[in-house]
Amino acid sequence: MTPKGTSKGYEMLLNAAATAHREAAMTGFSLIDKAERDELELVALDDPMMAAAMRRARATLGEFLALAANPTPSMEGFAVKVAVREDDDAEYFWIHPFDHSGGVFSGRLNNAPRSVRHVRMGDEITFTETEIVDWMYMDGATMQGNYTARAMLQKASPEEREAFRRRFGLDFDF
């Protein structure tokens, strides 16, 4: 079941996760299992693949923001990922929808918090462009961006990667 208020793009992602799970015949707690349950995927602070993913997303952020401001009819589900910090912890959230004006961004958390406790799914937060670590949108049936997921899928099984590649046209190189 898709949570109320979930965009078509996110609904497609959840459906693809379920399909990938079935096709891969995975057991246990794979990345796909965690995505289906909106659970955390813990990544080391010094993970080189995740650092590269965030660099790539930041390097292409200007292009993304220009598209988000003037999308074609086939584009939807524009979202950015930011960290919400609490003490020494940080948890990353997709913000969808989001707005920006005068260098200040605002938007709603599109994930349920698991480690930070002072925010809830649907809360509106404000942030700056420098806090954005990833972005994504759907162009028809093809996901664009989402470099952090691409990094995590590098460690997934070949079957899981192929299922996501078929469903979203994702290229895991960045």
**Burial (Cβ within 10 Å: 0-12, 13-18, ≥19) of residue 58:** middle
Q: How many CA atoms are closer than 13 Å to the CA of 36, on its beta-carbon side?
A: 16
Strand order in the sheet with 124-128: 124-128, 104-109, 89-101, 75-86, 132-139, 142-145
Q: Mind listing the pLDDT tens digit for each residue in 116-172? A: 889 999 999 999 999 999 999 999 988 899 998 888 888 888 888 887 778 777 766
Backbone dihedral region of 50: left (phi > 0), alpha (psi from -120 to 50 degrees) or beta?
alpha
Residue pair 163/16 in contact by the 8 Å Cβ criterion:
yes
Q: Which two tokens stand for residue 117?
A: 């406790």
Q: Mind listing the pLDDT tens digit for each residue in 53-85? A: 999 999 999 999 999 999 999 999 999 999 999
Q: pTM, whole model, 2 decimals?
A: 0.75
Closest by CA to 146, choosing from 15, 3, 10, 18, is 10
